[in-house]
Amino acid sequence: MSATVNNPFQHIVEPLDPKDPTQQFYNLSKLGDPRYERLPFSIRVLLESAVRNCDEFLVKSSDVESILNWKQTQTQTVEVPFRPARVILQDFTGVPAVVDFAAMRDAVMKLGGDPEKINPVCPADLVIDHSIQVDFNRKSDSLQKNQDLEFDRNRERFQFLKWGSKAFRNMRIIPPGSGIVHQVNLEYLARVVFNFDGYFYPDSLVGTDSHTTMIDGLGVLGWGVGGIEAEAVMLGQPISMVLPEVVGYKLSGTPNQFITSTDIVLTVTKHLRQVGVVGKFVEFFGPGVSQLSIADRATIANMCPEYGATAAFFPVDEVSVQYLEQTGRDAEKLAYITKYLKAVSMFRDYNNVSQDPDFTRIVELDLTTVVPCCSGPKRPQDRIAVSDMKSDFESCLGAKQGFKGFQIPPERHSTAVPFQFNDKDYTLNHGSVVIAAITSCTNTSNPSVMLGAGLLAKKAIECGLSVKPYIKTSLSPGSGVVTYYLKESGVMDYLFQLGFEVVGYGCMTCIGNSGPLPEPVVEAITQGDLVASGVLSGNRNFEGRVHPNTRANYLASPPLVIAYAIAGTVRIDFDKEPIVSGSPRCFAETPVGFSLTGTHGSRCPNYHP
């Protein structure tokens, strides 16, 4: 929404550029209230929305005062209205919204009205990414086959959404195969600052997906809501929300060169679960933030639901503007984004302590303490250092059934089940990896970890290593941009040789669309009552979510997904054991901080017997 008629705060409206009086904004700095400069940046976004949309009916002056007085009202369960700038939907939860709009058109037509008048008031984008699954893998045509099957299964839904994209104004439908909703949001849909109907104002949104918070990494305030709330916003209604407490999360120090954003977010998730941030905003600050790319920040913001917060906000800074430039936003937009945010004191310098606002409380993470890690076997917050992975899994085997335990009797810990696959003999044990997926919005759009996985694949192929053919491997990038830079960097062919070819653009394994496992594998798991493992670069690993036959599922960075796929088991200590048993060592430098070991041929330049 651009602005409200008869707004009592009209006196603070001024042009952003004195030479162009038609382009205006609500200059919150002109409120003349010292409390504004002490507000967390995330709360300033809520305040701007309330000021701009104040009509003394849906949004009142008293709501503006409640937000300005956040330091006192944050603990008083005060409800305030919030009108986001836009709405984002995905196809599972978004289709009912489009159906409801179609039903409203039918009702209006039956009453003799003009159905064409029923359109979203608030801009809405629906990205189709939840329908595709890994039915085919390890083949050069897997992508095409999976997409063809996706269209066959969802033809009626897609035809309906195609109609909706043409019928409704103010609504865009992003077609299948474009990418994962949250990455498309980052790369393409995010405005950061709206320029609409003669007014500049902050981009903000609600979405019908819990990981909508990923956009917070770019400095756009957003979070997941239910379908009814999203529809209400689309129809021009504000969300009623309790004014949240804001936990300031200070990042300091410099991470080790082998630490990935996945390691950082899994560490943050465990930490904030212990702190307790349910129903609260988390706002990141401190000199450590300036060292993180937007992809890194988006990874951390993405797992906000896993650590329980409502939003995980990184205010806009120079790094954010550089990202917008890299993703093709034009120079004119970049100029007014920076100018506007500086004018309303929403542009951050993470190294400037004087900009630090008031917070409900402050917690800190020293990035130098972060180590390579995974999370599992059943919950995202159960972080395990990679060096402890083997011992942790083995303790989980015998532990009482629960969040971590599987209650397998000690005499069965070494169970081995032989089976045949493609006329060759193999053996499955507890901890055997049967799914290895580079997937999900959390990691597959971050160049550092994706290229790291590609480099590790290159080293593995050069050392003569491979992934057992019965392991279901897959690569589902966040967008076509990822495929492009993997190809251009020369690592895609190595990923393909290990079995990680592109199988689709969507959520896939992370939401349980992992497709069937080979029948001999399922029979072996069932016969031995095995705790088989899945390793994925996702954000959730609850038992039964990834696949009904993988009882232990671990969240890991894409390079670690590659490493565990090659090892074929999670019962391995990479610090002490070769990645393939009985092989000489290969001292190839890798992006994940451990030496590759394996079978070597004359083609391996790193062979040192």
Tens of pLDDT, residue by residue over 213-253, are 999 999 999 999 999 999 999 999 999 999 999 999 999 99
Structure tokens at 586: 């290969």
Residue 363 tokens, joined: 């917690």
Q: Note the pLDDT tens digit of each residue in 495-536.
A: 999 999 999 999 999 998 999 999 999 999 999 999 999 999
The domain in which residue 37 lies consists of: 10-82
Last residue of a domain, one of 39, 54, 82: 82
Question: Does 526 reside within a domain?
Answer: yes
pLDDT at 583 over 80: no
Identify the pLDDT of residue 543: 87
**pLDDT exceeding 90 applies to what percent of the chain?**
90
Whether 399 has a pLDDT exceeding 60, the answer reads: yes
Last residue of a domain, one of 24, 52, 82: 82
d(CA 466, CA 600): 11
Top pLDDT among 593 and 372 is at 372
Those residues with Cβ within 8 angstroms of residue 249's Cβ, 6 or more apart along the chain or in another chain: 268, 272, 282, 283, 284, 285, 362, 363, 364, 365
Q: How confident is the model at residue 370 (pLDDT cuts 50, 70, 90)?
A: very high
The residue whose two tokens read 């016969």 is 527
pLDDT in tens, 314-349: 999 999 999 999 999 999 999 999 999 999 999 999
- Asked whether residue 17 is domain-assigned, the answer is yes
pLDDT of 444 reads 84
pLDDT for the residue numbered 401? 87
Tokens 């009626």: give the residue. 156
Kindly state whether residue 425 falls inside one of the protein's structural domains: yes
Domain contains 346: no
End-to-end Cα distance, the chain? 68
Considering 82, 104, 122, which residue would you say is the last residue of a domain? 82
What is the tally of structural domains in the chain? Answer: 2
Residue 594 confidence (pLDDT) above 70: no
Split at pLDDT 50, 70, 90, the class of 582 is low
**151 inside domain:** no
Give the whole-number percent of the chain exceeding pLDDT 70: 95
Q: What share of the chain is helix, strand, coil (3-state, %, to 5)?
A: 40, 20, 45
pLDDT beyond 70 at 263: yes
**Residue range 139-164: mean pLDDT, rounded:** 95
Q: Is residue 50 part of a domain?
A: yes
pLDDT number for residue 581: 67
Is 190 a member of any domain? no
Tell whether 436 is covered by a domain. yes
The residue-averaged pLDDT of 55-60 equals: 96
DSSP code per residue over 91-137: HHHHHHHHHHHHHHHHHHHHTTS-GGG---SS-EEEE--SS---SS-
- How many CB atoms lie under 10 A from the CB of residue 349? 12
Q: Which CATH number fits the domain that encloses residue 393?
A: 3.30.499.10
Q: How far apart are CA 5 and CA 55, in angstroms?
A: 7
